[in-house]
Amino acid sequence: NFGVISGFIYNGMNSTVKYSPIIYLFNFNSSNGRPIIVNEYKPITTPGTWQDLLINDDANFYSAEYDMSVSINQYGDVLVGMQFINRVLLFSVNIRKPTQLYFVSRNTNGRTLGNGKSIAWLNNGIAALIVNAYTLDYDWLTSQFQIYDIRTFGYNSNSTPLSIFPNNHEKVPKSLDPIFINIVSSPSSLALLDKSGHILIFLSTLPGFYLTVKDTGTMPLITTSQACMPGTFKNQSGIHDCTLCPSGTKNPGNFTTFCIPCSSDSFCPLGSVDEVPQSALENVIQAVPYPKSPENVVFEEILIKNMFLIGSNRCVVVSPLFWTLIVGSLAAGILIIMGISKYIIKDPRKKRTRELIKKIFRHTDLFGEGELWVGGLASLATITLVCFAYVFSNHFIRQYPIEASSDSYFACDTTIRNAKFQTGLQSLAIPLANTDQQMFDLLDNQALVLNVDFV
């Protein structure tokens, strides 16, 4: 016995806003049998917002940007979608005496257009809305339709939908255009129309099941049902998706209409499939402490420490001392062979060869300036150590600045940097060392006596 209509009214030539949106409530209980307007509502914009700057000077010509949608359910709840201001308005009408349009709440979807492109009520106070996203120039960005249990949870800008289509397991079929235009509903089902005229029909599923979309390529596309995934449940029929199990509950997949409580001493977050004992959890400190300078900050000390260090695994490969010992071992072997050959070689040609080798080693003698050929063997090991020192120094210099440096793979300790750190601050989120913690515990447990003398 009543109806709701929304549109624009002309404010006159001298008005800044040429056309303003308006919502009329009319009923049919008139003496002449014609509908009469019994109430009206003009949406009010917040001063300073982008909606407040709209003048709608071309609203007298049809444009998809100015599309509005209205839907009324059996309880007298009225939804009005005005996508050009990105708002959906919720009203209530007394169905026994429909003379007043009571404003309940509104939903605003940010600085875009398209909220409430189309609206449809389902049964039990559940509503479906097409929530498109357009730029302020009405260029399409995304499309989705959302389902809200308005009768149970209410409806405003902070409301959380029961489900959203599409989502990670309900995809838009390739044969369907991603731009949604309109929806129509029966008490339990819904049909979605895309920009290309294709239709997707959502059939209601039983408790414990959600709908899936199979792209058959034939129109209209019709959804099928599938059991709720582990960690989710659905306790009522409808086209909405399964809901994640609340924190403290779980669903390993044996139940689809409810979630079972977890143990009080276990960890069960949102959407749990199983519970985790608290004893298996470890605290992870995400606070990063300010770096500290190493014990040795003088380059000579750092160089000597890394020259004469032999570790394990990869440290052996990059150890200068290791390769120096290898070269020294070879030199010792040559020394032994030369000593033995002095007493066993009788052939004059081999003796000349031995003397030639000694002459070569004298030329490489860095310690005795060519006086001892044995010094040439020792010089080879020294040259090896000096070469490694040069390579280490060259790479260490390139570790500055620290912002552009990487791990120090040229040394055994890959964390060394060519930088010094100093700070007087300490983050409270970082746990104290054991020795420091004991001192803080003593200070916390210390009794303080405050004496106040009045003169």
List residues bridging with 449 in a β-sheet: none
Give pLDDT, residue 215.
Answer: 86
Has residue 31 been placed in a domain? yes
Give pLDDT, residue 330.
Answer: 85
Task: Output the six-digit token pair for 273.
Answer: 């499939």
pLDDT tens digits for 31-47?
777 889 999 999 988 88
Cβ count within 10 A of residue 152: 10
Q: Which amino acid is at 373?
A: W
pLDDT tens digits for 384-435?
888 888 888 888 888 888 777 888 888 887 878 887 777 777 777 777 777 7
Residues 175, 217 contacting (CB under 8 angstroms): yes
Among 124, 107, 125, which residue's Cα sits nearest to residue 116? 107
Has residue 192 been placed in a domain? yes
Q: Are residues 194 and 335 in the same domain?
A: no
Has residue 230 been placed in a domain? yes
Q: Are residues 191 and 322 in the same domain?
A: no
Distance CA 167, CA 155 (A): 21
Q: Are residues 26 and 143 in the same domain?
A: yes
In which element (H, E) is residue 57 found? Answer: none
User: Which residue is associated with the tokens 């070469």?
Assistant: 387
Among 152, 104, 163, 158, which residue's Cα sits nearest to residue 129? 163
CATH number of the domain enclosing 70: 2.130.10
How many domains, the chain?
2
Instruction: Name the domain boundary from 220, 241, 262.
Output: 241
Domain that holds residue 12: 2-241
Q: Are residues 126 and 202 in the same domain?
A: yes
pTM of the predicted structure, to 2 decimals? 0.64
List residues bridging with 81 in a β-sheet: 69, 88
Q: Are residues 192 and 338 in the same domain?
A: no
SS3 string, 310-326, reads: CCCCHHHHCCHHHHHHH
User: Which residue is associated with the tokens 């977890």?
Assistant: 262
Has residue 153 been placed in a domain? yes
Q: Are residues 235 and 303 in the same domain?
A: no
Has residue 272 been placed in a domain? no
Q: Are residues 203 and 312 in the same domain?
A: no
Q: Are residues 223 and 364 in the same domain?
A: no
Has residue 290 been placed in a domain? no
Distance CA 335, CA 383 (A): 18
Q: Which amino acid is at 199?
A: I
Has residue 279 been placed in a domain? no
Reading the chain (455 residues) residue by residue, the pLDDT tens digits are 899 999 999 999 889 899 999 999 998 876 777 889 999 999 988 888 888 888 999 999 999 999 999 999 999 999 999 999 999 999 999 999 999 999 999 999 877 899 999 999 999 999 999 999 999 889 999 999 999 999 999 999 999 999 999 988 888 999 999 999 999 999 999 999 999 999 999 999 999 999 998 888 888 999 999 999 999 999 999 999 999 999 999 999 888 899 999 998 899 999 999 999 988 888 777 777 777 777 777 778 888 888 888 877 778 888 888 888 888 888 888 878 777 877 777 777 877 787 787 777 777 776 666 667 777 777 888 888 888 888 888 888 888 887 778 888 888 878 788 877 777 777 777 777 777 788 888 888 888 888 888 87
Q: Are residues 126 and 226 in the same domain?
A: yes
